[in-house]
Amino acid sequence: MSSDTAGSGPDAQPSPFRGRGILEIPSIRLGHAGELTDARLTGITTVLPPSGSTIGVDVRGGGPATRETDVIAPGTHSYGADAIVLTGGSAFGLGAVTGVVDTLAEAGLGFPAPGLAGAVIPLVPAAAIYDLGRGDGSVAPPRPNEGAQATHAALSGRIDEVRGSVGAGIGARSGFQTLRGGLGSFAVRLPSGTTVAALVAANSLGTIGTPSGGLWLEPLLRSIGLDLPTVQGLPAAPPADSRTAAKNTTIAIVATDARLDPAQTTRMAAGAHAGISRAVQPSHTLFDGDTVFGIATGADELPTDRDAATRELVMITAAAADALSLAILDAHASATPVDSAWGQPPTLSEIAPDFTSEFNAL
């Protein structure tokens, strides 16, 4: 399905497409760092919104690891953010954000420090997944130098990787540690021409598979006209008394090129959580820190008519949920298989090769 399939007539429907994922939103940049080895599986992703973007966030999980989310809530000074970071390492991984902040400050990007000529204070909201110990069992979260590396990569504007076992998705798992997750991204084009996209580090406690071994997302895939091979054989959730808890979290960014105010951007992020609930069950548990950031770049104005603008806002929020659902599936379909000696769970491509081959070709 291509980015050119969305029509503009009265009966036109939103058109989901894989494409370049969140990079389909003009001027967004990102970079990654991390390590994918048998000793250490973790990483960090820096996302740079274009100057003047509106930022929002909505936290739903019971065990979040976050930084500077209050400063982007509606009712604050609404400066926005100089970067948004998705990282591994749980609360330890948030320490890597200092490398992001220092790199941005060196580049002169940040909130002007009052009374200090030439000084800036980069504002960098962040969220972390739990991936500690997924290599050799040691506590080895992303480090500040890796935060700096990811940010230098983003500033270069040359990085186009939005999916797979990269950055914050390197050590991701889902389904009570039974399936490798990863980083995923998907976009939706609305009939108006507005684009909405999601980037996710999929590391949920819940499973993307039904008890029968299929996908919870099968109804969505059918509804958007994707005729893909049936998925069978996904791992079932283990018995309740043997489940590994507190090692999870789905963190994401949803972005649009529409012009939204802080409250509307936050509403887009809040509505996108439905995309997690649809793709993963259970979701938003006490052992997940599910967090969704929102970015509105403001390149496209909403309709001037109030009713038309309201309808467009509803469609943007619904598209954010669809994009996030599909990005979660993309994260699993793109995960890199590793040597069985590493002691890691299988990937979706190893369980359902026909499905992932066709999905990845979209």
Pairing state of beta strands 84-87 and 41-48? Answer: antiparallel
Spell out the residues 6+ positions from residue 106 whose beta carbon is closer than 8 angstroms to its own: none
Q: Percent of the chain having pLDDT more than 90?
A: 83
- What is the pLDDT, as a whole number, of residue 159? 85
pLDDT at 11 over 80: no
Span 264-290, mean pLDDT?
Answer: 95
Quick check: 181 and 174 in contact, CB under 8 A?
A: yes
pLDDT at 4 over 50: no
Q: Which two tokens stand for residue 234?
A: 């996904």
pTM: 0.94
Span 259-266, mean pLDDT?
Answer: 96
- What is the pLDDT, as a whole number, of residue 291? 97
Instruction: Provide the angle, in degrees to the nearest 10, between the axes of the packed helices 97-106 and 144-156.
Output: 50
- What is the pLDDT, as a whole number, of residue 3? 41
Q: Which two tokens stand for residue 263?
A: 């409250």
Q: Which two tokens stand for residue 42?
A: 């973790």
- What is the pLDDT, as a whole number, of residue 160? 85
Does 118 or 35 have the greater pLDDT score?
35
Span 56-81, mean pLDDT?
Answer: 91
pLDDT at 1 over 60: no
- Residue 10 binned pLDDT confidence (cut-offs 50, 70, 90): low
Q: Can you tell me the distance from the alpha carbon of 95 to that of 116, in angstroms, rounded to the nearest whole number?
A: 26
Q: Can you tell me the distance from the alpha carbon of 135 to that of 75, in angstroms, rounded to the nearest whole number?
A: 42
Residue from 255, 120, 244 nearest 200 by CA: 255
Instruction: For residue 215, count CB atoms less than 10 angstroms from its CB and return exposed for 0-12, middle for 13-18, buried for 19 or more.
Output: buried
Per-residue pLDDT of 69-118, as tens digits, reads 999 988 887 789 999 999 999 999 999 999 999 999 999 999 999 999 98
pLDDT at 151 over 80: yes
- State the SS3 of 57-86: EEECCCCCCEECCHHHCCCCCCCCCCCEEE
pLDDT at 245 over 60: no
- What is the pLDDT, as a whole number, of residue 2? 38
